[in-house]
Amino acid sequence: MATDTDTDGLIGGESGRERDRERTGNAVVNWMEGLSEAAYAYLLLLPAFALLTLIAFYPMLRTFVMSLRANETRGLDPLGGFVGIENYVDILTGNARLARQFLDVGLTSSFPFIELGTPFFQQALFVTLAFAVISVIFETVIGFGQAYVLDQEFTGRRWVRVAIILPWAVPIVIQGMIFFLLFQPTVGFGSDLMQSIGIFSGTPLANSRDAFIIILVADIWKSSAFMALLILAGLQSVDRSLYDVARVAGASPWQRFKMITLPLVMPALLVAMLFRTMDAMRVFGLIESTAGCTTVPSLSCLVVEAMFGGTRIYATAAAVAFATALVIGLIIGGYVLLFRDTEGGMY
């Protein structure tokens, strides 16, 4: 049975621990209050950085480590000994042992600016960059036009928004099958129509140039809606009273667009372009479900082909994947450097 002395000791001990916790809490609060705004912001972002390191940077580091080892096609271990940058040299010089030839010589030799003797990585890099640049330019222009129309007040605007957004809801595989069937000579009307105009050959999906154009059109048809949504969000954040002041001052519609709309929507526009560029650099599903990677290769096609093409060349696949990540990182860095403002942010 506890005595009064024991009870007083327990109460005193608990009070002492509470005071210690309170002092510790006050010290932490005082330390946080003494931080600068930038340091406090980084402190709040620390959990996000830790999560990003776990789910993004660590796999990338593991991929880089894999790329420095040899391919092992025999035995249980798919990776051999350390070979340094040999895999990167092989993919740049065309010595990488891919499972099959890209840009099949028997099908076509008409892809623009590409010679069939060009190493596979350069072929895929050119196709990916050309696809990203052309698609993002067209999608930005079309998406901006759609967003500008949707930002106006008119009857039936809700239904027009649904019609514009609808292509974005179509899954990539379904999108690819739509254009695959559309340009099948015996099924769709697109092949005969384009051939009668003189634009496409009789088998456009087997021709690299024709298939590249078809995939571009398919991507622009779908992704312009994504650009329109992001740009529309930027347009609707513009203060409408600025337009009233401009009208009173006698500004023309073009002057209002140039001096008010474009500068204020530019941050949202650049973010939309950045996201679309990163997505376009990873294109694979649309190509594979429409024309196939043997006709129109991309960097992602090269990774999948090296990984699952029939031979176990995991180290080569890792090298191509890491090189692709570096290219995308350079593009992101280019966006940040070209479009930063005087305050250090984008635009």
Domain definitions of the chain by residue range: 53-118+299-338, 120-297
Residue 343's pLDDT is 40
**The residue type at 132:** A
The answer, yes or no, to whether residue 342 has pLDDT greater than 50, is: no
- Categorize the per-residue pLDDT at 98 as very low, low, confident or very high, splitting at 50, 70 and 90: low
d(CA 99, CA 73): 12
Judged by average pLDDT, the poorest of 143-147, 263-267, 304-308, 343-347 is 343-347
pLDDT at residue 82 in the model: 86
Instruction: Give me the residues paired with residue 346 across strands.
Output: 340
Residue labelled with tokens 């092989």: 90
Q: How are beta strands 69-71 and 79-82 bridged, if at all?
A: antiparallel
CATH number of the structural domain 120-297? 1.10.3720.10
What DSSP string runs through 200-245?
S-SSGGGSHHHHHHHHHHHHHHHHHHHHHHHHHHHHHTS-THHHHH
- Can you read off the two tokens belonging to residue 264? 């204020």
Structure token digits, residue 6: 């024991």
**Confidence (pLDDT) at 195:** 77
Output the average pLDDT for the chain: 80
